[in-house]
Structure 1
Amino acid sequence: MPSIDFADSRYTPAACPNFSWHAGTEETISSGICHGTLGELIQGPYIDNGAAQISLISLPVKKYSCMHFTHGERADNDNALATKTKCQQAIAHYLARHGKELPPGTWSHDSELLEGKGMASSTADIVATIRCLDAIFGLTSCGESISATLRAIERSDSVFLETYALYLSARQQIVQCFGSAPTFHACYIDEGNRIDTEKTGTRLLALYQERLTPYMANLDNAVDAFVRNDPAAIAACATVSAVLGQDVIPKRNLGVLLKNQARYGADGIFVAHTGSLAGYLFIHKPGPTQMGALSSFFRGLGYQGRFVQTGF
């Protein structure tokens, strides 16, 4: 599979993810933003030099993490980064990399992404922080620069890209970007538990060794489906990936989702493999009647169904 060329302008955040606002006073606010995910379409092993690496194809969602820096404002006990150690690490890494010093000011933060649920909230916070720093200093961090910072901090995914990609989460390395950009409509639930993603890596790699053949077959099918721009095949691969992932962090409702998939006309099932989200994928947006039926179904299971559009 070809590797990505980070010099390609398509894979830089040049589409204005950073913003500085001048309020008509001496106060200036610089901001950065990053989308999150609704779990993954695919998670499984990618074999590199004989060793299995954790790979994934994220399911991007139009929900965002925002980081703001108010220039000149004095920091106080409510500083948003006081408990965000990974964002603090990203700032230190960025300043050292560029030989910069942070001007006086205060950070603030807002996010639509739930923590510990599989929405890439931590990674989105870091990327939003990097993009806010870009806005502060008038720079643009390329994909390789962002990957280097993430690599120094955590295992994560490819939310800094605006394209689907097969990504190695521990190495912070892109294996292949896909030209196709399918949009799915998701109806999902949060099963409620909070997952520590960092603690799942060893379990994932052990499972990969036990079930390498079906994992590799599904990954090959998923890559082929993206190359062919076949949303139905992609959704089918997501369903297989959800089933394979049951041995690591099982979803309590996956069985009933599988049983009722045809009844509700869903094209596939997705999960946050290291989170608590699970739901249906639809190629075509469900109408009001279908949405009502889905809401009743999930309410009967004890959950509130949520509807959202995925993709870019």
Structure 2
Amino acid sequence: MSWAAPGTCGEFVQGRLDGIDYLINSPIDRFSTATVRSARRPGIRAANPDRHSKVAQLLTMMGAPEAECDGMEIELNSDLPAGKGMASSTADLVAAMGAAMHHLGTTALVPDVCRSLIAIEPSDCTHIPGVAHVGHLCGRVFRCFLPPSGLRVLILDCGGSVDTVAFDRARAHKVYARHEREVRDALSLASRGLVTGDVQQLADAATMSARLSQQILPKPPFEEVERLARSAGALGVNCAHSGSVLGILYRPGEVKPSLLSELIIRELGDAVSIVGDHAFISGGIYVRRH
């Protein structure tokens, strides 16, 4: 048995209002998984060694003192590329936490998990069921929504990697302050789209937020990607506000992802690479029985 936590395609929207940095996350069907077992050699095994100390720190904060020496062997595997804005670190932490807490027979409240995750690093909080509007630097949960139905995303990588911790927040805050009205409008439109199930409103909000992000962490192919997406019948684009990916948002049946991928590759060449085509899903911790 293993536990899985979803990554994201960036965020639907992100900004800063009333002194609080916020985002609406965008969980997708691409995961980090963790398996835990009693072991002769307790510890954390992960493809990314940087995760070891963070996982141990989180487990200790969640009530598992000296987690690495508590008789557990935790094996982490991820299908999420690091440094791209796809919540790979959050997914690793959440999957490991779910597996370890089951092994220890303990549970935790969502707000406590949020605060613990954010004490380690900024977090998309994808352990929250549904789609969540959160303060990703303070751990506050503002609202939860059902995931959008009938919406998929073709994920493009613009190259390079971004350290979320080193992200230039001072620059971001200045941009959000200058464009407070757009920040409020994007949040309001995204919330309304999620409540009513209007994926066009959600895509419009995501595109608005992604355009603002161009003033903070520009992605050179953005304008051309948006143009090609519209020409192919897609609804809009979203981005990783502190990462390198862009997402083309579309309704299945209205756009063929294979043709869209061919168009992007033909028109943009090696300016982008195709990461994958994914559905938006509910956040949370998924149990997988082998």
Counterparts in 2 of 1:221 and 1:92: CA distance versus 1, 3 Å:
same
Q: CA deviation at 1:117?
A: 0.5
Pairing 1:1-312 to 2, within 5 Å after superposition? 19=1, 31-47=2-18, 51=19, 53-75=20-42, 79-80=45-46, 82-84=49-51, 85-95=53-63, 103-179=70-146, 181-200=148-167, 201-285=169-253, 290-300=256-266, 301=268, 302=270, 303-305=272-274, 306-312=276-282
Task: Give the structure-1-normalised TM-score.
Answer: 0.81
Question: Does structure 1 conserve the Cα–Cα contact (< 8 Å) formed by 2:233 and 2:254?
Answer: no
Bigger-Rg structure (1/2):
1
Task: Give a deviation string over 1:112-166, Cα, whole Å, max 9, x none.
Answer: 1111101111111111121112111112222122112113211111200121121
Separation (CA, whole Å) in 2 of partners of 1:161 and 1:188: 22
Task: Give a deviation string over 1:174-231, Cα, whole Å, max 9, x none.
Answer: 1111246434211121112100111223322222112212111221222222222211
* Structure 2: 5+ residue stretches without partners: 283-290
Counterparts in 2 of 1:262 and 1:292: CA distance versus 1, 3 Å:
same
Counterparts in 2 of 1:172 and 1:204: CA distance versus 1, 3 Å:
same
Q: CA deviation at 1:99?
A: 9.8
* Structure 1: 5+ residue stretches without partners: 1-18, 20-30
Question: Does structure 2 conserve the Cα–Cα contact (< 8 Å) formed by 1:239 and 1:268?
Answer: yes
- Structure 2 SS opposite 1:160: coil
- Tell me which residue corresponds to 2:286: none
Task: Give the structure-2-normalised TM-score.
Answer: 0.86
Identity of paired residues, percent?
27
Question: Does structure 2 conserve the Cα–Cα contact (< 8 Å) formed by 1:186 and 1:279?
Answer: yes
Q: CA deviation at 1:59?
A: 1.3
- Structure 2 SS opposite 1:117: coil
Counterparts in 2 of 1:207 and 1:106: CA distance versus 1, 3 Å:
same
Counterparts in 2 of 1:86 and 1:57: CA distance versus 1, 3 Å:
same
Question: Does structure 1 conserve the Cα–Cα contact (< 8 Å) formed by 2:210 and 2:241?
Answer: yes
Q: CA deviation at 1:233?
A: 0.7
Counterparts in 2 of 1:139 and 1:95: CA distance versus 1, 3 Å:
closer
Instruction: Report which structure shows greater RCO (CA 8 Å, sep ≥6).
Output: 2
- Structure 1 SS opposite 2:231: coil
Amino acid at match of 1:133: A
Of stretches 132-141 and 220-229 in structure 1, the one that deviates more from structure 2 is 220-229
Task: Give a deviation string over 1:54-94, Cα, whole Å, max 9, x none.
Answer: 11111111111112223123258x84385322112112212
Question: Does structure 1 conserve the Cα–Cα contact (< 8 Å) formed by 2:3 and 2:96?
Answer: yes
Amino acid at match of 1:36: G
Question: Does structure 2 conserve the Cα–Cα contact (< 8 Å) formed by 1:116 and 1:196?
Answer: yes
Counterparts in 2 of 1:293 and 1:202: CA distance versus 1, 3 Å:
same
Amino acid at match of 2:99: C
Counterparts in 2 of 1:100 and 1:262: CA distance versus 1, 3 Å:
closer
Separation (CA, whole Å) in 1 of partners of 2:156 and 2:260: 11
Amino acid at match of 1:176: R
